[in-house]
Amino acid sequence: MGQSIRDVRGGTYIDGLRMKLDCTDLVGDVHIRNCFGTTRYSKRSQQASDKARLITDSGKIEIMLKEDLIGEINVTAISVAGAIRYEALAPLGALRICNDMTLMTVSTILTPDTNLVSPMAMAADILAQCREGDITIDKMV
């Protein structure tokens, strides 16, 4: 059984080992480290102060966005050995996609920076990082 966290305002900090988390509409600074579990992070709206950092070692991160948020907020996904699925971002056209065989990055932030992970990409509204887990960016149903 998983944990459901909804409509929290003012910031959220979670550090866990192996949890099944379903986080919806968290407002403010969000930092979730779920080492080996599954984190589903869903957003229906975005406030100017909202920043989310989602981190896993070999768990799974699912980012679910309301369709009208796609293109309105910046998302960056970084993985060492996991897959990044980002079909929901396809309507945006241009994305920053980098892969040097040690690190893969997908970002909605386009920069002329030649670094694999640019400082601007790290400052995205939603930043997902994993070592061996998978990241999925999808539309909410």
Q: What is the pLDDT of residues 97-117, one digit of tens each?
A: 888 778 888 999 887 777 777
Burial of 41 (0-12, 13-18, 19+ CB in 10 A): buried
CA 105, CA 12: separation in Å to the nearest integer?
25
When the pLDDT of each residue in the chain is averaged and rounded to a whole number, the result is 91
Question: Maximum CA pair distance of the chain?
Answer: 44
Which pLDDT does position 141 carry in this prediction?
79
C-alpha 28/C-alpha 36 separation (Å) is 25
Contact in structure between 37 and 19 (CB atoms under 8 Å): yes
* The pLDDT value given to residue 13: 93
Domain edges within the chain: 3-139
As a whole number, mean pLDDT of residues 63-80 equals: 95
Q: Is the pLDDT of residue 56 over 80?
A: yes
- What's the predicted TM-score (pTM) here? 0.92
The two structure tokens encoding residue 55? 């981190």
